[in-house]
Amino acid sequence: MLAALLTARQEARGRSAEELVALADLKALPAWTPEQLEPYRQLLEKEGRAEGAERIRRAQDWLREHPVQLDAEA
């Protein structure tokens, strides 16, 4: 799920400007925690995208068990 968020090629299609900003903020982070995904999950709920919000909630559950950190780009 995280890979899909971070590597989507047509990410602008069907997404609000607010969501694109939230995704850009997430992509800029070197690591993700469940707490960092919470504003994005809340945004999806606010926009009436319950399925997307549920996917983020599942990702948050997974991150609690498997912390993720990206290598710094050269």
State the pLDDT at residue 3. Answer: 63
Integer Cα distance of 21 and 26 in angstroms: 9
Query: Over its length of 74 residues, how does the chain's per-residue pLDDT go in tens digits?
Result: 666 665 555 555 667 889 888 888 888 888 888 999 999 999 999 999 898 889 899 989 998 998 776 665 54
Q: And the tokens for 11?
A: 């990410």
State the pLDDT at residue 70. Answer: 62
Task: Answer for the pair 50, 41: CB distance below 8 angstroms, yes or no.
Answer: no
Task: Report the predicted TM-score, pTM, of the whole model to 2 decimal places.
Answer: 0.74
